Homo-oligomer: A and B are copies of this chain.
Amino acid sequence: MSSAPVGGRRADAVRNRHLALEAATALVSESTATLTVEAIAKRAGLGAGTVVRAFGSKDALLDAAVSDLLRPVVDRARELLARAEPDRALRTFLAELMDFQSAHHGISNELRGLAVPTTTELRAELEQAVRAMIAGAQRTGTIRTDLAPDILADLIGQTAFAIARLGTGLADAYLTVLMDGLRPPTSANAEPTVSPA
């Protein structure tokens, strides 16, 4: 009679799925890595067929890998949103996001034109958290209100993911410029077209 596991997959299939995901996650993090199925399989010590079969397609595997990297970032954004003052939450979160981007700057580049539904959803959640931070900071007066929170959140979301190639030094400078640019405009910098010196 039948002897297969009734409810789920076989133990080795489960283990290999984990191995494939780990290998993919590792390779996605490395900016120089070539993201072929063959490379992932080799890294995982598996055959190419096994790797694809575990997730259905290469895209689905990459989606899972990137989502695994992104989920803690989303959680961290929500935590900061809940616990910290909006302005400080935003600054802290952006600093950490820059670090994340510097550490895994293969992510943005490799995902163009891929079907990554989970990753897309996580990015939307991330932007929502940022939007809440901005709205809060606008309420407390630490961020300019002449630009809509949706615009600013969209702006930050787009740029933060676009600038994956920035090194640490540049990321710091960018964060400084960005945060200062988000401040409410003062009479000192509102219309500085003519040199004051």
In which size bucket is the chain A interface? 35 or more
Of chain B, the residue at the smallest CB distance from A141 is: B197
Question: A114 at interface (Cβ–Cβ under 8 A)?
Answer: no
Question: A73 at interface (Cβ–Cβ under 8 A)?
Answer: no
Question: A183 at interface (Cβ–Cβ under 8 A)?
Answer: yes
Q: A169, B151: Cβ atoms under 8 Å?
A: yes
Q: B176, A179: Cβ atoms under 8 Å?
A: no
Residues of B within 8 A of A140 (CB): 195, 197
Interface of A is mostly: helix
Question: A125 at interface (Cβ–Cβ under 8 A)?
Answer: no
Of chain B, the residue at the smallest CB distance from A188 is: B186
Q: A163, B170: Cβ atoms under 8 Å?
A: no
Residues of B within 8 A of A186 (CB): 186, 188-189
Quick one: which of B151, B152, B170, B189 contacts A183, CB cutoff 8 A? B189
Q: A158, B141: Cβ atoms under 8 Å?
A: no
Which residues A144-197 have CB closer than 8 A to chain B? Answer: 147, 151-152, 154-155, 158-159, 162-166, 169-170, 173-174, 176-186, 188-189, 192-193, 195-197
